[in-house]
Structure 1
Amino acid sequence: MGRWFALSVLLLIGGAMVSVWRGWLDVPAEWSPWAPLDVKAVPNWLTGYKLMRLRSDPELCAQALSSSGLRVTRQSDSPDAKCPLIGALRVQGGEVALSSSFLASCPLAVAYALFERHTLQPVAQAVYGEKVSRLDHLGSFACRNVYNRESGALSRHASADALDIAGFRLASGRSISVLKDWPGQTRDAQFLRQVRDGACEAFSVVLSPDYNAAHRNHFHVDVGRWSVCR
């Protein structure tokens, strides 16, 4: 009996998915696995899947980016460089200003926009009752191996798939630094931990000072194929 029930449920789910894919069943875009990601929509259990699809579909990524509100400029491709960049963007900011613009792949830019809208600002409002006005970072693109080793795997920074976030400035002018404010149980430390945890919903990898000493002064966030939140 249980086996037949399970089979019936699987057939029902499969039929529903085929109906959505074929357009026979009309559902809101945020609940359709095949609809483009809308950065402004509240994330749900399909958001991670939609973010993953962006890595191999530039057109779909461009559609998602158009809903992000980010100011970006497209960069010239450099296919013959030691660390080639294809379809890279220069992110100049959105609602939150940046300490400087940064290079990003399209998937990184979309993930950043999702993080800014659905993690960073809500956490700041909950903890401080005000918005973040600026994000300070240590850079994104760098043609190097992991930890600057002479040999080994290329860093996600080498493909503009990673960003190192160093701190934040609130609308009141208050500054929060990963290096100075992570230790302890202060309100700033709690804010940083909530931001770190929320970032894991938008990025594939989030590494904080809890990971190792190399990250004592920043959050490393990237959109690689591994999944780590620490």
Structure 2
Amino acid sequence: MTLRPLVLALSLLPALAAAGPENSLRPQARQEAAVATAPEDGDPKPEIASVAKGGDAANGEDEATGSEVQSVKVSEVPLPPPVREELDLSEAEQAACLAVLDLMRVTYTVSEPVIPGDDRDCGILRPVTVTEVAPGVALSPPATLRCPAAQALALWVRDFVQPAAARLSERGALTAIRNGSDYVCRRRNNATEGKLSEHAFGNALDVMGFDFSEGPNIPVEPREAQGSMAEAFQDAVRASACMEFTTVLGPGSNAAHDNHLHLDVIRRTRGWRLCEQGPGPEG
């Protein structure tokens, strides 16, 4: 057997190896598209994933060039106006409200705006301080309120409280309404968290009791089935309060209101009112 064909074949191997695909490309890593990361907790200011040209968005640097990452900025969502500003009356509305107080002979002074430095929502921009809610009927102590709350209080006293008090002939005329709380920047039921009370905007008053010229005062307290005129009076003024106020709470509503009537003029959808009369007698 001759060795010539084998030698010839071996001599051709380098040429065959050089005849591979001359234009083939070196494999390259696939470039992933940058995707915005949606916040899981509903934060209104989502963070956006960093984008690096030809590099890794995770490490924040372009591996090939070392260039800085290009980040997308998101503008901050503006805060709503403070609640005290949302509740503020116009000049014309305030003038009309004060005219009603003057017509009913309420004794009051126009106070300086109440704007606490440590809370963005509390306060009253056009407060009035009421000393007499009707002629001869004092607020003890005086109450600082928004004018709509003062107007509701004056109407209630004139149209309902004084006529009911006139039925208590042995006590004489109504002389004072005891004020337990008017404006104060706090949360509902004095809790450490949760929604602000309507007291925080000058929309609420806590009535602790009623004083008379001749007989004993009538404090607000649980009076289920007493069968007394004091109970009848308290029930009458409490029920009628919801004709002027949008919230009326008192004994029986919860333990926090067993010694006073909470009256406020919070705004609700479609004029809905919360008038809790407390539990009635069994049977």
TM-score by length of 1: 0.71
8 Å CA contact retained: 1:55, 1:107: no
Deviation, structure 1 residue 173: 3.4
Q: Supply the distance in 2 between the matched residues of 1:174 and 1:78 (Cα, whole angstroms).
A: 36
Alignment of 1:158-169 (within 5 A): 158-169=200-211
Give runs of aligned pairs for residues 59-70 of structure 1, distance below 5 A: 59-70=95-106
- Give the alignment of 1:30-179 within 5 angstroms: 57-79=93-115, 81=117, 82=119, 83-93=122-132, 94-95=134-135, 96-128=137-169, 130-179=172-221
1:132 Cα offset (Å): 0.9
Task: Say whether the 8 Å CA contact 1:182–1:192 is kept in structure 2.
Answer: no
The amino acid that maps onto 2:221 is L
Q: What one-letter code is carried by the residue in structure 2 that aligns with 1:197?
A: A
CA drift of 1:125 comes to 1.1
In structure 2, give the amino acid aligned to 1:158.
Answer: A
| Maintained 8 Å contact 1:71/1:92 | yes
Distance, in Å, in 2 between the alignment partners of 1:191 and 1:115 is: 14
The residue that corresponds to 2:41 in the other structure is none
Structure 2 counterpart SS, 1:179:
coil
| Residue matched to 1:42 | none
Larger radius of gyration between Structure 1 and Structure 2? 2
SS of 2:221's equivalent in the other structure is: helix
1:220 to 255, 259, 262: 262
Q: Percent identity?
A: 32
In the TM superposition, what is the alpha-carbon distance from 1:62 to its structure 2 partner? 2.4
Distance 1:101 1:69 in 2: 16
One-letter code aligned to 1:132: L
Q: Secondary structure at the match of 1:101?
A: strand
SS in 1 for 2:176: strand
Give, in whole Å, the separation in 2 of the partners of 1:65 and 1:112: 10
Question: Within 1, Cα distance between the matches of 2:238 and 2:89?
Answer: 22
Query: Given residue 146 of structure 2, which amino acid in structure 1 is its aligned partner?
Result: S
**Greater CA drift, 215-224 or 64-73:** 64-73
The farther-off stretch of 141-150 and 114-123 is 141-150
In the alignment, the residues of structure 1 paired with residue 173 and residue 182 of structure 2 have an alpha-carbon distance, to the nearest angstrom, of 24
Q: 1:196·1:206 contact (CA, 8 Å) conserved in 2? A: yes
Where structure 1 has 5 or more consecutive residues not aligned to the other structure, the ranges are 1-53
Aligned pairs, number: 177
Bigger mean CA deviation after superposition, 56-65 or 91-100: 56-65
Q: Distance in 2 between matches of 1:182 and 1:65?
A: 35
Q: Compared with structure 1, are the counterparts of its residues 174 and 80 closer, same or farther at alpha carbon in structure 2 (3 Å cutoff)? A: closer
The residue type paired with residue 214 of structure 2 is S
